């Protein structure tokens, strides 16, 4: 007589749900630790028990939300920089020479 095989679950981690949750918690903890400015990457490596720093570096990758926030902050800084008036020229530079070289008047920053 043939023995019937027990059906396998289609979910990859269904038999290991507790270990999967533990792994997810470790992953979340590592991502939080690498973003803590008071911890070095070597600190996180030691806490996680990684033999190689390159394993710990996996957690450095930003989330999509972090990338969007960084790009928006970049654009805001650029807008703030462009809103500032240009610094006056150092003493001894003639405005007409600066205008000829850079195409702007020394007083107003206008193009010629």
Output the 3-class SS for 29-69. Answer: HHHHHHCCCCCCHHHHHHHHCCCCHHHHHHHHCCCHHHHHH
pTM over 0.85: no
Measured over the CA atoms of residue 75, residue 76, residue 80 and residue 83, the dihedral's sign is positive
Query: What is the share, in percent, of the chain residues with pLDDT greater than 90?
Result: 50
Tokens for 56, please give them.
């710990």
- Average pLDDT over the chain reads 84
Reported confidence tier of residue 103, pLDDT bands at 50, 70, 90: confident
| pLDDT tens digit sequence for 12-61 | 555 567 778 888 999 999 999 999 999 999 999 999 999 999 999 999 99
Q: Identify the CA nearest to 108 among candidates 81, 89, 91.
A: 89
């Amino acid at each position: 007589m043939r023995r019937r095989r027990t059906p396998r679950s289609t979910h990859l981690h269904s038999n290991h749900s507790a270990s999967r949750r533990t792994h997810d918690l470790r992953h979340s903890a590592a991502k939080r630790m690498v973003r803590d400015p008071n911890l070095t990457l070597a600190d996180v490596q030691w806490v996680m028990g990684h033999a190689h720093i390159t394993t710990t570096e996996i957690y450095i990758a930003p989330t999509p939300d972090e990338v969007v926030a960084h790009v928006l902050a970049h654009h805001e800084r650029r807008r703030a920089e462009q809103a500032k008036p240009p610094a006056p020229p150092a003493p001894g530079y003639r405005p007409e020479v600066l205008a000829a070289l850079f195409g702007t008047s020394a007083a107003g920053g206008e193009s010629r």
